[in-house]
Copies of this chain bind each other. A is one copy, B any other.
Amino acid sequence: MTDTNENALSRSPDEQASGFEAVRTAHQSEMVEDYVELIAELIQLNGAARPVEIAERLGVTQPTVSKNLNRLKREGLILQEPYRSIRLTEEGRELAEACRQRHRIVVDFLVALGVSQEVAEYDAEGIEHHVSEETLAVFHAFTKERAKG
C-alpha cells in the first residue's frame, strides 16, 4: 500500500487537538442525547416514559436517572411533575428525533456493510455520538446505494 500519510504524525498539534476536543465535547452531550432518545422510544412503545424503565434500559440505578432527569428539566428538554412520568418538550422532541435518525443511519449502515444486527446496535450506541455530518452523509449514501444494487 502506498503511503497516503494518513497518520497522526503528519498533522499539526492544533489539528490533532481539535479532534480530541471534539471527543470531550461529544461526551458532554452523550448523556442528554441518550436520555431523550430513550424517552421518545419508551413513549412510543408504552405511551409513557417512567424513570424505572429508563434505569433498566440504561443499566443504571434509579437515583442516577432521577439526578440526570433534573438536568434535562433544567435544559428544557423534558417536563415532569414529581412522582409522575415524563413528557418531552418541543425542543426535547426535536432533539430526540434527530438522535433517532442518526442512530438509525449508523445501524443501517453497519448492517449494510455486513455487521450483524446485534453488534450493529451495540456499536452504534457509542459510534453515533462521534460521527460528523460529513461522515453521516457518506454512511447514508452508502446504505441507499447498497439497497438499490
Contact = CB atoms under 8 A, between A and B. Distances in A.
Interface stretch (A68-76, A81-89, A117-125): A117-125
Number of chain copies forming the complex = 2
Interface in A108-139: 108, 110-111, 113-127, 129-132, 134-135, 138-139
Nearest to A124: B19
Contact of A111 (B6, B108, B131): B6
Among A8, A20, A26, A108, residue most surrounded by chain B Cβ atoms (within 10 Å): A8
A15 B59 CA distance: 10
Contact of A13 (B6, B56, B132): B56
Interface size for chain A: under 10, 10 to 19, 20 to 34, or 35 or more residues? Answer: 35 or more
Contacts of A114: 138, 141
A97 interface: no
A62 to B, nearest CB: 14
A74 to B, nearest CB: 22
A28 to B, nearest CB: 12
Interface in A1-32: 1, 4, 6-9, 11, 13, 15-23, 26-27, 30
25 contacts: A4-B111, A4-B117, A6-B107, A6-B111, A7-B100, A11-B121, A13-B53, A16-B57, A17-B59, A18-B59, A19-B121, A19-B122, A19-B124, A20-B34, A20-B60, A23-B30, A27-B27, A114-B138, A116-B134, A119-B132, A122-B132, A123-B131, A127-B130, A127-B131, A130-B130
